[in-house]
Amino acid sequence: MIKSSNGSESNLMVLFMSICFPAPYSLGAQLYGSGCRFTLYAPDQDCVHLLLWHQGHQPQRLAMREYKRGYWTKEVADVVAGQDYSFEISHNGQTWCVADPYAQAVTGPLSYQPPYTPSQSTLLARCQVVDHAPFDWQGVSSPQRPMCDTVIFETHVKGLTQQHPDVEPAEKGRYLGLISPAMLAFYQQHHINCLQLLPITACLPEPHLLSQQKTNYWGYNPYVWMAPDPRYAEKDAVNELKTAIRELHRHDIEVILDVVFNHTAEGGDGGPILHFKAIDQAMYLQDNQQLRNYTGCGNTLDLRHPAALKLVLDTLRMWATHYHVDGFRFDLAATVGRDGEAFHPHSAFFHAIAQDPILSTVKLIAEPWDIGPNGYQLGQFPANWAECNDKIRDTTRSVWRGDPGKLQDFATRLMGSRDFFSASHWPDHLPINYVTYHDGFTLQDMVSYAKRHNHANGENNRDGHGDNRSANYGIEGPTDDPTIMAVREQQKRNMIASILFSLGTPHILTADLISHSQQGNNNAYCQDNPTSWLNWQTKDHAWSNWFATMIARRNAIVPRFIDALSGTQRHLNQIAWRHSNGDPIQDHQWPNLQTFSCQITLGAHHSNAGQSTLIAINSSDTAQALRLPSDHQWRIVCDTATDETTVTAPEAFQCLAAKSFLVCIDSDWL
């Protein structure tokens, strides 16, 4: 504590000093009253220089001092937001420029010509000082929507609007395109309340892609985690992204970021020297001095390492506080929970998130696997996490394709996959239910291709999922055959209804709203072209309207049943499983079933006590007569046998069409 002239402790002076001079352990570029403090954690270095770049001039080269073991710092007067900088270090006898891992903006080109060299690093590694204070949020706050009321729409910033005819040219494929009038109208029409953006942090293409003049379109090769990718901005990525999020919030739409903390763009031993390999290789898991590769990308970040853990937590807090994002989807999230080779749901990372006053309040979604030992961890994440549920994806595809013996498992998936996600932890620990994701077939391709067609990726069609559980229904690819087209449309309705009306949080590929096709490419990660850019000219209005109506009905129906089946009240409701003739299903009958109905009735504890919903499935190729319970006045709100959306009253024996999914409610409470 600083002493005043009379010997008393001066809290005022301490406060003044903390405002004017950032703490030395605040890494990155920290502006203060008259300049900027640059701090880099680089314990592997004996000497670090700060480079300040000025257009058309040689950089100003300033020696940094080691404030404490591994912490290098330099205060520079008169530096303001917008200043370009990088760090100069030595590695294996060569001088390199490296990026600041804490940089909040980058200005260097996010590309290079392999092999990466020290001379190229002087351009690539350039970062920029950022001041977040001037941005005006205009009093707009986050919707803070419960997870059970959320429908997630997975979206690529560029692909969404690059070909949209009604988006201004300057906004196509950019952050501001997300909030163009055409897109805001689209969100409203389809009841979109949450966008999950594929990675938007600065990334680099892998060397093999650069050698083929391709790019990592999806963005899953992270370079600088705190910097928004400038390729999606017209001028200023920081402020344009903030503007997009503010206006999405103004329209009651949340934003979730897909984040990648399992590896970095430095790749394996032969990859480029970007930062960590030179400043602190201990951030990587080691095995006889070889980088461990639990991701398939060449290296694995070690969150047992204090510097790595701090960087990830600081990054998440930065996005939550400075950009007001509503949550994060963690790519290959089993990696962030590893303690060496073993995954632990009580790892330091999970505990740090749980006790953090900011991060514990946002949406947390895990992709619950990686390719390391025991990498499949579905259902094993902490109770405050949701998880991507591949079980419902695979089972839904199998059931509607006609694979035998899948209906019992399908019933489990419809009821929230409680074999993996105990309802005692609902609504906090919910499955994220999906049938399509960015990595795989689009919905249109699921019903149009029996095999993947990935030749354009340059890997001889060896990449991408092999087990797609898809079908073409007679012809591989597009067709004008009306019979095949009708079957495909019904199968699309079946799969989407299965996701929307199952218990959990639906995840929808935005491309599926307009039936976008990738021509059978189920791994279009390097296709920054019309293969991935949504084709708005082919939008089917009948399909789009049906989809939008079903989303609205899901939002009115499913959350109240999730609520009733959550926590201690989950056993107080009635669930009845029946054959189509109304008889109860016996356990031994499940393996051979092709049809069933499930009726859920809310118990007396619930505010809507006595209300029921009924879901009926016919996976066979012939129609069945469905006997509806006579103690309710039923209304059909979804019948995938048709694209009609009118709410109708069924007959006592309702025709359950072949390959169809039916949803009824017992009153007019939509």
Active site residues per annotation? 331, 367
Give the span between the Cα atoms of 288 and 82, in whole angstroms. 43
The amino acid present at 541, given as its one-letter code, is H
For helices 348-355 and 306-322, the axis angle rounded to 10 degrees is 30
Query: 439: closest CA among 169, 101, 156?
Result: 156
Residue 324 · residue 245 · CB < 8 Å: yes
Distance of CA 140 to the CA centre of its chain: 23
Give the span between the Cα atoms of 349 and 334, in whole angstroms. 11
Residue 152 · residue 437 · CB < 8 Å: no
Distance of CA 198 to the CA centre of its chain: 6
Residue 299 · residue 272 · CB < 8 Å: no
Task: State the DSSP H helix or E strand holding residue 158, giving kind and residue range, or none if neither.
Answer: helix 157-161
The amino acid present at 449, given as its one-letter code, is Y
Task: State the DSSP H helix or E strand holding residue 207, giving kind and residue range, or none if neither.
Answer: helix 207-211
In the three-class reduction of DSSP (H, G, I as helix; E, B as strand; rest coil), residue 534 is classed as coil
Distance of CA 352 to the CA centre of its chain: 21
Structure tokens, 146: 């419960």
- Sequence-distant (≥ 6) Cβ neighbours of residue 345 within 8 angstroms: 337, 380, 381, 382
R_g over Cα of the chain: 27
Give the span between the Cα atoms of 621 and 7, in whole angstroms. 89
- Sequence-distant (≥ 6) Cβ neighbours of residue 57 within 8 angstroms: none
Task: State the DSSP H helix or E strand holding residue 151, giving kind and residue range, or none if neither.
Answer: none
Task: State the DSSP H helix or E strand holding residue 319, giving kind and residue range, or none if neither.
Answer: helix 306-322
Residue 69 · residue 106 · CB < 8 Å: no
Structure tokens, 617: 């499935």
CA distances for 313 relative to 127, 185, 320, 351, 584, angstroms: 21, 35, 11, 11, 51
DSSP alpha helix (H) spans, 502-607: 541-564
Dihedral of CA 170/172/176/177: which sign? positive
Structure tokens, 119: 């001379």
DSSP alpha helix (H) spans, 441-518: 443-446, 482-500
Task: State the DSSP H helix or E strand holding residue 350, giving kind and residue range, or none if neither.
Answer: helix 348-355
Task: State the DSSP H helix or E strand holding residue 554, giving kind and residue range, or none if neither.
Answer: helix 541-564
- What value, to the nearest 5°, has the Cα angle with vertex 398 and ends 392 and 403? 145
